[in-house]
Structure formats: C-alpha cells, structure tokens
C-alpha cells in the first residue's frame, strides 16, 4: 500500500518510456519516420566502428574517477567544519550552497569564462603569483576537462547538505562518551562519525557516481553542446545527445543509453557488494 504511488509512477511514467527506449535501441529511428527493426546493428556500429564513442567513454571515466572522490572529500570536509559550534555558521552554510544554485543555469557558461578564460580571475591570480604565459584553460584541449572537474567540485552543495543532515543524526552522547574515554578529535571522527554516517556516505557515493557518469548540463552549457575543443569535453551523454537530437539517430542513442546503464549498474553493484564491509545500518 505504501508502494502504490511509486508503482503507478514506475509503470506508468518511467517503465513505459524505458522499455520504449530499449526497443528503440534495436531499431533505426529518426523521430520522423516509424522505427525500423535492425537487430543489434546499432550496438555493432557502436563497438566496431565509432572512435568518438571511445573518446567519450575516456572523457567520462576520467571525470568520474577524478571528480567524484574530490567532490565528496570536499563536501564532507566542509560539512564537518560547518557542523562545529562556530558562530555565523548558518550564513556560511548558505553561502557555500550558492554555487550549487547556479550550477545548471545558462549564466554559468559566461561565469566560467570569467574565471578560466585567458583574462580570467584564475590567470590574474596566477599572474600576481608571478606566473607568465598562462593558457586559456577552457579553450585548450588538454585543460578543458580540468575546468569542468573544477566546476563539479565547486558545486559540492548537494552532497554537503546531505552530509550535514547525516551528521545531525549522530547522537551527541556518543561523542560525549568517547570524549570521556579520552578519544581525540581524529579518533572520534574515524571511529564515530564515519561509521555513523556511513549510510549517507554510501548514498552520496552512489548518487554522485551515477550523476558523474551522466554529466550533461554543465558540459553542454560550457562547450555550447559541441564537446569541444576537439572533443576534449565530449562526455558520454553529450555524445548521446548529439546522436539523438543533432543527428536524429535515436536508435543509436538509445543503444548508447543502455550500454551506459549497464556500465553504471556494474559499478553500482560493485559498490553494493562491498558495502556490507563498511556501511553500518542502525538495523544491524
């Protein structure tokens, strides 16, 4: 009974379109004409004859591996810092969340150029520090992905807030008891905080990982949808989007979507499989 709304939503709104996309992945479909069954042709083309597919996989994996741990560490660090009894923390918490409010707005493309462009803030700071011949970070193929990773870390507000909520659930008497036993700050963090909020860490890890695999909006806005310069920010879903909405190859895009689903599912399964070693639930 509790599950009823979810079941209706799942079957009515999500499952139908999902199955449609699965079926479409075995068809040639350009939106305008009726889909035509082509078997595994789309999948064959993806694996056998598409160098840009591999490029986009590479970009996406690099992004996931680098930005997810960085962002989570940052978010957790700041959350712990903001969970202390310092005065005015309410204000800081809100200020630190501000970037996340902006993170997907169209203005971000402009703002990011103000920081990482040739005359941007970042170069001005480096210039003050004595560096010369500074690159244009956004328009240099080797560096562009780095600016997007920075953008992702910069919008760490969501996991931070979830960490904060988790930290708030840790009963304070645990800390008091530990303090009585003479445990230092780090010991308390490692022995109490981490285990107690491990379900929340786990949640953030899974969700940020899935989100990173699917990164789209920021990459789309910053590169204007091209994934440039020279495909250096061609994220998987950006390429998928180009295939669907620029090239009208919806069958191909659907096949790519299901390949990504399998990749993500594999990583999520790995995370779940190892989770009973380090995630502690109140029910145990």
By beta-carbon proximity to other proteins, the closer residue of 63 and 241 is: 241
Give the side-chain half-sphere CA count within 13 A for 150: 14
The interface region with other proteins, picked from 65-73, 134-142, 175-183, 186-194 by CB under 8 A, is: 134-142
CB closer to other proteins out of 68 and 260 = 260
Choices 59-67, 126-134, 184-192, 208-216 (CB under 8 A): range interacting with other proteins: 208-216
Give the span between the Cα atoms of 27 and 22, in whole angstroms. Answer: 9
For other proteins, the binding residues in 174-193 under the rule CB under 8 A are: none
Give whichever of 183 and 226 is closer to other proteins, judged by the CB atom.
226
Residue range at the interface with other proteins (CB under 8 A); choices 56-64, 126-134, 177-185, 221-229 = 221-229
CA distance 171 to 176: 9
How far from 245 is each of 9, 30, 122, 164, 212, CA to CA, in Å?
Answer: 26, 9, 35, 39, 21
Is 257 an interacting residue with respect to other proteins (CB under 8 A)? yes
Instruction: Indicate whether 206 belongs to the interface with other proteins (CB under 8 A).
Output: yes
Among 58-66, 126-134, 180-188, 229-237, the segment contacting other proteins (CB under 8 A): 229-237
**CA distances in angstroms from 17 to 8, 41, 247, listed in the order given:** 14, 21, 21
Based on the shown chain and the rule CB under 8 A, indicate whether residue 202 belongs to the binding site for other proteins. yes
Angstrom distances, CA of residue 50 to CA of 38, 108, 255 = 18, 31, 13
Residue 69 sits in the site that holds other proteins (CB under 8 A)? no
Interaction residues for other proteins, span 36-65 (CB under 8 A): 49-50
Residue 83 contacts residue 196 (beta carbons within 8 Å): no
């Amino acid at each position: 009974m509790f599950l009823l709304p979810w079941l209706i939503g799942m079957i009515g709104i999500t499952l139908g379109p999902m199955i449609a996309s699965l079926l479409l992945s075995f068809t040639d479909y350009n939106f305008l004409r009726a889909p035509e069954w082509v078997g595994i042709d789309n999948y064959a083309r993806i694996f056998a004859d598409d160098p840009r597919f591999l490029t986009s996989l590479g970009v996406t994996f690099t992004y996931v591996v680098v930005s997810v741990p960085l962002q989570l560490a940052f978010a957790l660090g700041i959350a712990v810092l903001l969970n202390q009894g310092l005065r005015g923390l309410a204000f800081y918490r809100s200020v630190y969340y501000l970037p996340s409010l902006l993170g997907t707005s169209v203005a971000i493309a402009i703002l990011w150029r103000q920081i990482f462009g040739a005359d941007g803030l970042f170069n001005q700071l480096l210039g003050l520090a004595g560096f010369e011949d500074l690159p244009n970070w956004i328009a240099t193929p080797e560096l562009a992905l780095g600016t997007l990773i920075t953008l992702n870390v910069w919008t760490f507000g969501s996991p931070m807030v979830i960490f904060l909520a988790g930290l708030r659930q840790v009963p304070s008497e645990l800390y008091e008891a530990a303090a009585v036993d003479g445990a230092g700050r780090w010991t308390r963090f490692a022995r109490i905080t981490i285990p107690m909020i491990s379900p929340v860490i786990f949640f953030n890890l899974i969700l940020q990982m899935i989100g990173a695999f699917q990164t789209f909006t920021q990459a789309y806005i910053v590169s204007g949808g091209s994934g440039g310069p020279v495909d250096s920010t061609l994220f998987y879903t950006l390429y998928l989007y180009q295939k669907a909405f620029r090239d009208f190859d919806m069958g191909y895009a659907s096949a790519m979507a299901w390949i990504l689903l399998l990749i993500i599912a594999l990583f999520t399964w790995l995370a779940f499989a190892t989770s009973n070693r380090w995630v502690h639930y109140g029910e145990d």
